[in-house]
Structure 1
C-alpha cells in the first residue's frame, strides 16, 4: 500500500507539472511545417488526404473552431489526448500487475522524452499512440476473457488508428503476430466477436482506400515506395543510437531486456506479461531493422513509440529486479531526458534563443521566421495594386504563411519539396498548384533556404522559366539570414527578355564561427546572371566596413554551380577585403555582404558569426 501511494503521488505531481509546462510551451511555440499543412488540410475538410487519413486534419479544425485562430487551439486536441495517454497506461498495467505498477508505468510514459513530449505538436503520432494503447489493452483483456466490452475497446482503438496514419498497419500486424504467438491468443482469434471488432477496424480504412483508388494509389506509393530507398544504408546504426538517447539509455536497456525475455519465454510466464513484451519486441526490433533500409532523410525517431508504450507496461516489473542504485539512475536519467527535451522546445519557442544558434546546424528552421515573414508580406502587399495575388514557391511557405495570414488557399508553384513530402497530389486536388501563368499582379514568396545551396542558382533559373523575368527582390533575412526569403512583385502580364536572377554568394574566409584578429581578411565569391556583380560591400553587424576588390577567377565554382551561372564575369567572380574591426568590442559579431548588381539592384546576403579577439 505504501508503494502504491508513493507511486500515485509521484505520478500525479509529475503529470500535472509536465502538462502545465507543455500547455505553456504549445501556446508560444511556432507551428512546425507539418502542423501548418495539417491546419491547411483542416480548412479543406475531406475523408482522407494525400499524405494521411483524415483524423489529424479534423482535430486541427475542431481545435480552431472551438478555440479560435491561434497556435494553442491547433494543438489543444492533441494536448488533451497526450494528457489522457498515461492514465490509460496506468489503467492497463494496474489491471494485470497491480496499482503500484500501473502508476509507475504511467510515470515512465510521462518521463520518457518520446512519449512525454507528445501533444506539443499537432501530429498524427498522438492519436496513433492513443489507439495503440487501447488496442494493446483490449488484446490483453481478451486473453483472459472475450467479452463485448473488450471487443468494443479493440474496435475503437482500431478505428482511431486507421484514421491516424498509414503506419498503424504495422501496429495491427504486430498485434496479430503476438496473438498468434501465444496459445491463448490463437484461441481469442477463433471468437466471432473479435472478428466483428476487426471488421469494424477494417472499415475505418475505407476513406483512405477510396482516396488511393481514385487517385492512382498516390498516397500508398509515397508512403511505401517513393519516400524509401529500400536499399541497405549504415544510418540504421545511428537510428539505434538516437533511440537510446530519446528513450534515455537505462530505460532503453530495460525495454530491450523485456523484449528479449518476451521472445525467449517458454510459456511459464503470465500470458499478459508475455503479450505486452511480444508486442513491444516485434514492433521495436522490426523498426530497428527497418531503419537500415527505409527513409533516412526525414524525421523517423518517433516510429518505434507504439512498441515502447507496450513495453512500458511491463518495465516496472523488471526494475524491481534491479539494485536500488540502478533503479534510481534509471528514473533520474528519464527525468533528465524529459527536462532536456522540454527545454529544447522552450528554447525553440523563444526568438532570442533561436537567434543564438542561427548559422549553426542546430537552428530550428522549420519553426522559425514565419511571423516575421508575414509582417514583411503585409507591408509589401499594402504598396501593391488592389487584387494582387499571393503566390508561394513551395508547400512549406504556402502553409505557414497561410496560417500566419489566415489564408488557407495560397497557391503554390511546382517544387521538389512538394513531391518529396507527398503534398503535391493534395495541392493539385485543392486547385492550389500554380503553373506560373497569370493575368493579375502577383507577389511571389520564395524560400531561398529551402533549397540546397549548390542548387540555389538552378532553382532561380527554374523560377525564371515558370514565371518569366524576375524583378529585383525584397530580401527578408530572418535571424541573420538563417531563414531567407525573397519577395518578387510580378506584373500582371509576363514580361519578355532575359531573366536576371537574384545574387548567389558565399564567404569562404573566415569560416563561420572562426576566431579572428581585429584586422582580418574576408574572401568569397558572388554571381548574378546576365548583369553580373558591380560591387560587394562587407558588413559587420549590419554596417558597411569595407568595399571588396576583385580577387580573380574561381574555376572550382563552375563545377559547384554545375555550369549553370550566366554571370558575364564568370569565373572572375572572386572578391577579397581587409576588415579593420578595431572599434568593436571583443566577442561574437556578424559578418555579411551587401551585393550590388550590374543593373543597380542591391541585395543583402545572409550573415555568419565570427569571434573577434
Structure 2
C-alpha cells in the first residue's frame, strides 16, 4: 500500500503540472501576478501570501507553469503534512496513506493546487498547522512550538478563513487535558504568529483596513434562499467526488479526534448558515476539508478489514473515475474555463469579470495602442492584468474603489497620452443601427466625456477558440472606444479619484 500510495501521489502531481503548463492564465491569476510585480505588505482583496509565492517568477509571461509552480508545491506540502498528521495521531502508517490518497483523489483539490489563488497556500499552511500542533503536543519542544507559530502565520497571511483555524486550535487547547500546553510553549506559537502577522495588520491600518472590509463586508451580498444549503451540499459532492464527500460527511458527523472536530466543524457550520443568506463558493470549504481528510485517515485505521475494503472502495472508486475527466479537460484549454458555483461547474466566459482573455485580443490591442500612442484602459482589474501578461500592456483600470486605488501605484501618474483606448465586453456608446451596442454604459460615457474632448466608438472585435477535440469556446465580442484630445488630468478623471461610483463598488462586492 505504501509504494502504491506514493506512486499515485507522484502521478497526480505530474498531471497537475501538465495542466498548469497547458491552461492559460485566468484573470484572477493575472491580477495576483500583478501583485507580485509590485510587492507590498498587503493588498486590497486578500492577504499577501499568494503574491509572495508568485514573486520569484514575476518575470514570467511565456508559460503559466512558472506562475503556478509554488501552488503545485503547496499541493505536495499539504498532502505530506496531512498524511504525517494522521500517522502521528494514530501511530498507524495506513492512516497517513488514506489521508494522502483522499487529498490526491479529490478533484476539487487539484483545481485548488493548479490555479494560482490564495487557496493553495491556505491549504498547505492549514495542513502544516495540524501537523505542527500534533508534533508540538507530543514533543513539547520549544522549536516545534516556534514552527507551529510560523505555520499559523502562513495560514493567516494566505486567507481570512485562517481565523477559523486559529480559533479552532485555541478551543482545542482549552480542554483540561491540554491546558498545560500553554505553559509549555503554545503561548510562544501565538507570539511568533502575531509578530509575523503584525506587518500585514500595520499595512491595513494605514490603508483603511481594506482587506478586512473586503473579506467581511464588501463580498457579502444578500440573496436569501431556504434551499440553497442543500443544493450547495449536493454540488460539493460532485466537485469533491461523491464517495470522498460522503466519507468526509461521516467524519464530520462523528469525528474521532478533537483536533479534527475543532478545526473543521465550526467553519463548516458557519458556511452552511451563511449559505441561507448569500451565495458561497465551493472552494470556501478547502480548509475544513483538509482537516476532514486527516479525519478519514484516523477513522480508517481502527476499522475491521471488511469495513476497510468497503470504505476504500466506496470512497476512492468514484474519485478515481472523476479525476481523469478533470485532467482530460485541462489538456485542452478551451474546456477548462469553469466557474464552480452552487450548482456545479459550467463552461462560460461571461459575467462581470473575465475568466480569461484571448491572446489574439491582447496582441491586436497592443498594436493599435502603439500605433496611436494610446493608453489602454479597462474597467476590470483581472482583464487589465491579463492584457499585461499577454502583451505587456500597462494595467490601467477605472471605476473601482480599493482595487483602483491600489493599482494607481502600477503606472506613471504623469503620463499624458495622445489617445485613450477603452476595451470592454460591453459597448460604451449605444450606436444607432448596431443593436449589439445597446444599451451602452451611460455612467462610463459621462465620465469619458468629462475626460476627453471627443469620444467615438471603435471597432467590435470577435474571438473564439477551438481545441484539438473540436470543442469551441463560444465567440466573445469586445468593444473598443477611442478617447481623443484627452485633458491633462484625463486618467485621474477616469479613475474616479473624486469619488467612486456606487454601482461599481456594488459590482465588486457581488462578483468576488
TM range (shorter): 0.7 to 0.9
Aligned to 1:227: 219
Aligned to 2:270: 286
Aligned to 1:312: 293
Aligned to 1:440: 418
Contact 1:369 1:478 in 2 (8 A): no
Structure with max Cα Rg = 1
Aligned to 1:363: 348
- The 1:404–1:68 alpha-carbon spacing in structure 2 relative to 1, beyond 3 Å, is closer
- Give the secondary-structure state (helix, strand or coil) at the position aligned to 2:485: coil
Distance in 1 between residues matched to 2:427 and 2:224, nearest whole Å: 30
- Give the secondary-structure state (helix, strand or coil) at the position aligned to 2:347: coil
- Give the secondary-structure state (helix, strand or coil) at the position aligned to 2:4: helix
Aligned to 1:375: 363
- Give the secondary-structure state (helix, strand or coil) at the position aligned to 2:315: helix
Deviation at 1:430, TM superposition (A): 4.3
What CA deviation, in whole Å up to 9, does each residue of 1:315-345 have, x standing for no partner?
1343435363453121101222322333343
What CA deviation, in whole Å up to 9, does each residue of 1:458-485 have, x standing for no partner?
5532232122353232111122864221
Aligned to 2:152: 158
Pick from 17, 21, 31: which aligns with 1:23?
Answer: 17
Pick from 449, 456, 460: which aligns with 2:441?
Answer: 460
Q: Over aligned residue pairs, what C-alpha RMSD do you find?
A: 3.1
Pick from 2, 5, 13: which aligns with 1:11?
Answer: 5
Aligned to 1:108: 102
Matches within 5 A, 1:409-448: 409-414=394-399, 418=400, 423-430=403-410, 440-448=418-426
Deviation at 1:380, TM superposition (A): 2.2
The range that moved more, 224-233 or 20-29, is: 224-233
Q: How many residues align?
A: 454
Q: Which of structures 1 and 2 has the larger relative contact order (alpha carbons within 8 angstroms, sep 6+)?
A: 2
Structure that is richer in helix per residue: 2
Q: TM-score normalized by structure 2?
A: 0.80
Contact 2:22 2:330 in 1 (8 A): no
- Give the secondary-structure state (helix, strand or coil) at the position aligned to 2:254: helix
Deviation at 1:230, TM superposition (A): 5.9
Matches within 5 A, 1:495-534: none
- Give the secondary-structure state (helix, strand or coil) at the position aligned to 2:100: helix
Aligned to 1:302: 283
Distance in 2 between residues matched to 1:157 and 1:317, nearest whole Å: 22
- The 1:37–1:331 alpha-carbon spacing in structure 2 relative to 1, beyond 3 Å, is same
Aligned to 1:544: none
Aligned to 2:258: 274
Contact 1:162 1:204 in 2 (8 A): no
Distance in 2 between residues matched to 1:439 and 1:75, nearest whole Å: 35
Aligned: 1:335 with 2:315: no
Matches within 5 A, 1:138-149: 138-149=132-143
- The 1:317–1:203 alpha-carbon spacing in structure 2 relative to 1, beyond 3 Å, is closer
Distance in 2 between residues matched to 1:142 and 1:49, nearest whole Å: 32
Deviation at 1:237, TM superposition (A): 2.7
- The 1:326–1:82 alpha-carbon spacing in structure 2 relative to 1, beyond 3 Å, is closer
What CA deviation, in whole Å up to 9, does each residue of 1:98-155 have, x standing for no partner?
1122122111100012323332111111111111111111222333342223202211
Q: TM-score normalized by structure 1?
A: 0.68
Contact 2:456 2:483 in 1 (8 A): yes
Contact 2:224 2:277 in 1 (8 A): yes
- The 1:85–1:481 alpha-carbon spacing in structure 2 relative to 1, beyond 3 Å, is closer
In structure 1, stretches of 5+ residues that fail to align are 1-5, 263-268, 495-613
Structure that is richer in strand per residue: 1
- The 1:122–1:354 alpha-carbon spacing in structure 2 relative to 1, beyond 3 Å, is closer
Distance in 2 between residues matched to 1:45 and 1:354, nearest whole Å: 28
Deviation at 1:36, TM superposition (A): 0.6
